[in-house]
């Protein structure tokens, strides 16, 4: 008898006051049109092709002692044990991604790939005894082990099989999962009194996976298992009372996805609905734990309510957290139909999700810092197989999931993305033609087998405070709809009917919840970031309290750059130019500023550091998988930020021992008057004195000595040298310190400055 069989859902016996729940359209009924989301999806498709099924199967076959053929294992976390930390989770995301994309695109080859992968997983399950399936031995699940966050990884495998069944129509996936669920049931029962201790180790979304399985099988045992993974006293009861609770952010979010799914899937369930609504309100609503992008977390931890100021450089907003926040938001929207959830969903989708993939390589972000002169944390999909690369494989594969929704009487247009939705039950097709956000409008064209009476509701975004308008077949409609609601058109629709919708966008400020003078700029739902690196480090001169200040007239002061999509310029109160563009357009190696500090007078001066924001190369390549943190990028050495409390987050910390070198490319031969390189606060405290040399070059091949000290014993904040030379490239090499007992050491560099007269290109 299970020790958790007594757990039952807490149902609300009163009638539901929220109206009829909304339903998403199956991904197979939505096709993306030309635009930024389809482009992003196609880049991700190349990534999925590059990974391939054989590599995704490697660890499962390895654990089942089946032949792996010529396949090479993926690297980093996805390598087989003992080398890899968490084999199987990334590969399970891959299964989810190809299943989702096969539905979203109708691609037969992807469907065949899903079927092949599921069949091979079935062989692995049989080789492991017929019920167990995993990329690591069963011993991983012993209560005293769990060092490889085994249940977190198991949840991902379950979700991958569910996606294969639901989106790709693979029946074998459900058969494999039912057998695996029986093993999980026995394993959970065998924990006995140890089960509560087991739940103290990150277990991901076991509640979500089991509740999703219950929605397919309707087996009450699966529902009871889902409830057993909950932690009511620890966290859910607190959220029910609208009290805050913080822990590892993605651990918390995964648990809350499960609570929201129970509220959405089950019979009317007041407890889980209130828990989920209050949690969402604390994080994304009135509690304001989210950055302008919609993301949250600080160095993987969940911040407290209104505690975000000055955290934007500290490995902010883990992408997995944004992925899970969208899941919670989607469930609440389906339950309530409230537009506020779609307003947030749109903001997070356009920024934290769309902006999490490099538009050229398809690499994904782990963290997404938003400080001054910063870089996105893109990591390779073959060697950087981290958690966020895994969720990143899924994100573009389901862009079409929430554009539209419906109930029995009508259709909702939630997002303004070029696409077509088919509604066979109504004999209706709706095509959305738009270049939004490049153009502030959208058009909807109806095709119907015969005239059909239904409501079409179009979201009036909260950011659209004036000028929203709807015309049907050219006739302007007198529809009263407030921002943050839906405009409903009641009509009998026939083929050729067209709705035109104006969506004027304006600039707005998005301040930190606990510091109004630290803010980001929004243009409609888009976070607009400073383009490039600037010596004033995110400082803008203005006065928030002065109604005549340029900050109160953003639409007047931001002017578009001709022939450049969504790029604007403005001058601050000191006459300094800022150039902004959408956060999602920022690719790898591009410096940008997310948040600005508004000051009444400037305290920062341009010291003519011509290395600021210039391209760099280094002896230990920028992180593609083996490196762990975003500050290991050599670009951190030319971002103008060093010293102070955040020195640890903005240093260059190469993944290797001394000697290590960094080269700065000035773009063309430049007149150089001097250089200065800076120790990190950490090394100053530890009294580490590096030996070093500095060299110059015009071709990046032949080097001339510029300065250095091969026997340095002095610990200093910085090491300046003045010497006139003309060069395009400057190289700094950090050598083993002679003062350290056991060299070599792993070096750290706070900043590498190169001084000279400013060139025209430095100011563009």
Distance CA 458, CA 455 (A): 10
- On whether both 162 and 139 belong to a single domain, the answer is yes
Q: How far apart are CA 524 and CA 434, in angstroms?
A: 15
Q: Are residues 512 and 623 located together in one domain of the fold?
A: no
Q: How many angstroms separate the Cα of 270 from the Cα of each of 16, 234, 245, 275?
A: 9, 19, 20, 8
User: 489 versus 1: which is more confidently predicted?
Assistant: 489
483: pLDDT confidence band, cut at 50, 70 and 90?
very high
* pTM higher than the cut 0.85: yes
Contact predicate 454/510, CB 8 Å? no
CA distance to 86, 258, 321, 387, per residue, from 204 (Å): 13, 9, 12, 11
User: Are both 76 and 157 inside the same structural domain?
Assistant: yes
Report the chain's mean pLDDT, rounded to a whole number.
92
* CATH number of the CATH domain containing 664: 2.60.120.260
Work out how many domains the chain is built from and give that number: 4
Residue 326 maps to a domain: no
Cβ atoms 147, 200 nearer than 8 A: no
Check whether residue 418 and residue 561 sit in a common domain.
no
Distance CA 616, CA 594 (A): 21
Q: Is residue 357 part of a domain?
A: no
Q: Phi, psi at residue 452, to the nearest 5°?
A: -135, 130
pLDDT at 384 (0 to 100): 77
Residue 274 covered by a domain? no
For the cut 80, the answer to whether the pLDDT of residue 99 exceeds it is yes
State pLDDT tens for residues 29-45. Answer: 999 999 999 999 999 99
CATH (domain of 459): 2.60.420
694/561 same-domain check: no
Mean pLDDT of 100-126: 97
Regarding whether 151 and 98 lie in a shared domain, the answer is yes
The residue out of 193, 209, 229 marking a domain boundary is 229
For 432-474, how does the pLDDT look when each residue is reduced to its tens digit (9 = 90+)? 999 999 999 999 999 999 999 999 999 999 999 989 999 999 9
Output the 3-class SS for 683-707.
Answer: HHHHCCCCEEEEEEECCCCCCEEEE
DSSP category for residue 415? S
**The pLDDT of residue 551 is above 90:** no
604 within a domain of the structure (yes/no): no
Predicted confidence (pLDDT) at residue 10 exceeds the cutoff of 50? no
The predicted pLDDT at position 620 comes to: 80
Give the end of a domain, one of 458, 483, 502: 502
The pLDDT of residue 11 is above 60:
no
Regarding whether 223 and 78 lie in a shared domain, the answer is yes
Residue 264 belongs to some domain of the structure: no
CB 321 within 8 A of CB 249: yes
- What confidence score (pLDDT) does residue 315 get? 86
* Confidence band, pLDDT 50/70/90 cuts, at residue 16: very low
Give pLDDT tens digits for 714-729.
999 999 999 999 999 9
Q: Helix, strand, coil: what percent of the chain each, to 5?
A: 35, 25, 40
Res. 757: pLDDT tops 50:
yes
**How confident is the model over 684-705, as pLDDT tens digits?**
988 999 999 999 999 999 999 9
In a domain, 413, yes or no: yes
**DSSP 3-state assignment of 759?**
coil
pLDDT tops 50 at residue 15: no
pLDDT for 543 beyond 70: yes
Q: In the listed set 546, 566, 599, which residue is the last one of a domain according to the structure?
A: 599
Domain that holds residue 441: 405-502
The answer to whether position 300 is within a domain reads no
Answer with the residue of higher pLDDT: 623 or 625: 623
**494 and 533 assigned to the same domain:** no
Cβ–Cβ under 8 Å, residues 720 and 672 = no
222 and 74 in a single domain? The answer is yes
Q: Are residues 191 and 142 in the same domain?
A: yes
Percent of the chain with pLDDT over 90: 79
The answer to whether position 296 is within a domain reads no
The reported pLDDT for the residue numbered 20 is 66
Question: pLDDT tens across 305-357, in order?
Answer: 999 999 998 889 999 999 999 999 999 999 999 999 999 999 999 999 999 99
Residues 216, 108 share a domain: yes
Q: Provide the 10 A C-beta neighbour count for residue 625.
A: 20
Query: The dihedral of CA 58, 63, 67, 72: what is its sign?
Result: positive
- Same-domain pairing of 513 and 498: no
Ranges of H-type helices in 34-148: 36-51, 53-64, 89-105, 108-127
Look at residue 17 in the predicted model and tell me its pLDDT.
31
Report residue 463 as tokens: 């950011």
């Amino acid at each position: 008898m299970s020790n958790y069989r007594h757990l039952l859902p807490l149902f609300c016996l009163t009638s539901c006051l929220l109206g009829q729940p909304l339903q998403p359209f199956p991904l197979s009924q939505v096709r993306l049109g030309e635009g930024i989301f389809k482009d992003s999806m196609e880049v991700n498709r190349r990534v999925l092709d590059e990974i391939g099924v054989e590599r995704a199967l490697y660890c499962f076959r390895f654990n089942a002692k089946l032949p792996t053929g010529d396949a090479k294992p993926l690297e980093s976390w996805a390598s087989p044990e003992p080398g890899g930390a968490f084999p199987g989770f990334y590969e399970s995301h891959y299964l989810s991604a190809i299943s989702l994309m096969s539905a979203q695109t109708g691609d037969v080859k992807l469907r065949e790939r899903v079927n092949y992968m599921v069949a091979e997983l079935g062989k692995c399950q049989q080789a492991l005894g017929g019920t167990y399936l995993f990329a690591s031995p069963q011993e991983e699940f012993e209560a005293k082990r769990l060092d490889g966050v085994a249940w977190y990884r198991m949840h991902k495998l379950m979700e991958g099989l569910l996606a294969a069944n639901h989106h790709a129509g693979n029946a074998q996936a459900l058969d494999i999962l039912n057998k695996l669920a029986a093993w999980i049931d026995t394993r959970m029962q065998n924990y006995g009194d140890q089960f509560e201790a087991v739940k103290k180790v990150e277990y991901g979304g076991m509640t979500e996976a089991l509740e999703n399985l219950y929605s397919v099988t309707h087996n009450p045992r699966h529902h009871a298992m889902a409830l057993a993974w909950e932690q009511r006293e620890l966290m859910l009861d607190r959220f029910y009372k609208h009290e805050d609770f913080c822990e590892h952010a993605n651990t918390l979010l995964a648990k809350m996805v499960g609570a929201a799914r129970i509220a959405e899937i089950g019979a009317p369930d007041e407890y889980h609905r209130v828990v989920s609504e209050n949690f969402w309100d604390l994080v994304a609503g009135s509690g304001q734990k989210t950055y302008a992008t919609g993301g949250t977390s600080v160095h993987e931890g969940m911040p407290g309510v209104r505690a975000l100021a000055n955290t934007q450089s500290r490995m902010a907003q883990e992408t997995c957290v944004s992925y899970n926040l969208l899941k919670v938001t989607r469930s609440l929207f389906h339950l309530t139909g409230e537009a506020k959830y779609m307003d947030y969903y749109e903001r997070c989708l356009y920024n934290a999700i769309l902006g999490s993939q490099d538009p050229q390589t398809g690499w994904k972000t782990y963290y997404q810092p938003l400080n001054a002169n910063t870089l996105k944390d893109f990591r390779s999909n073959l060697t950087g197989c981290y958690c966020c690369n895994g969720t990143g494989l899924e994100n573009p594969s389901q862009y079409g999931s929430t554009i539209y929704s419906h109930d029995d009487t009508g259709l909702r247009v939630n997002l303004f993305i070029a696409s077509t939705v088919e509604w066979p039950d109504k004999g209706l097709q709706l095509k959305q033609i738009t270049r939004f956000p490049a153009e502030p409008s959208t058009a909807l064209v109806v095709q119907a087998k015969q005239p059909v009476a239904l409501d079409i509701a179009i979201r009036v975004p909260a950011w659209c405070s004036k000028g929203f308008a709807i015309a049907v077949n050219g006739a302007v409609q007198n529809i009263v709809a407030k921002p943050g609601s839906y405009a409903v058109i009641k009509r009998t629709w026939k083929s050729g009917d067209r709705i035109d919708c104006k969506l004027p966008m304006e600039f707005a400020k998005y301040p930190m919840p606990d510091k109004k003078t630290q803010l980001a700029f929004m243009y409609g739902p888009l976070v607009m970031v400073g383009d490039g690196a600037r010596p004033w480090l995110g400082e803008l001169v203005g006065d928030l309290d002065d109604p005549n200040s340029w900050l109160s007239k953003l639409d007047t002061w931001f002017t578009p750059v001709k022939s450049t999509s969504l790029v604007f310029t403005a001058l601050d109160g000191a006459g300094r130019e800022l150039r902004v563009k959408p956060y999602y357009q920022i690719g790898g190696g591009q410096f940008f500023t997310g948040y600005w500090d508004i000051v009444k007078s400037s305290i920062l001066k341009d010291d003519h550091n011509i290395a600021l924001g210039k391209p760099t190369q280094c002896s230990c390549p920028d992180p593609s998988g083996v490196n762990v943190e975003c500050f290991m990028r050599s670009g951190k050495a030319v971002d103008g930020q060093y010293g102070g409390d955040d020195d640890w987050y903005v240093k260059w910390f190469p993944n290797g021992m001394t000697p290590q070198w960094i080269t700065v490319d000035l773009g063309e031969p430049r007149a150089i008057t001097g250089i200065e390189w800076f120790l990190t606060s950490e090394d100053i405290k530890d009294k580490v004195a590096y030996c070093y040399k500095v060299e110059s070059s015009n071709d990046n091949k032949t080097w001339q000595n510029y300065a250095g000290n091969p026997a340095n014993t002095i610990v200093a904040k910085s090491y300046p040298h003045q010497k006139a030379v003309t060069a395009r490239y400057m190289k700094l090499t950090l050598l083993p310190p002679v003062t350290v007992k056991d060299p070599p050491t792993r070096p750290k560099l706070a900043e590498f400055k190169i001084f000279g007269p400013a060139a025209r290109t430095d100011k563009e």
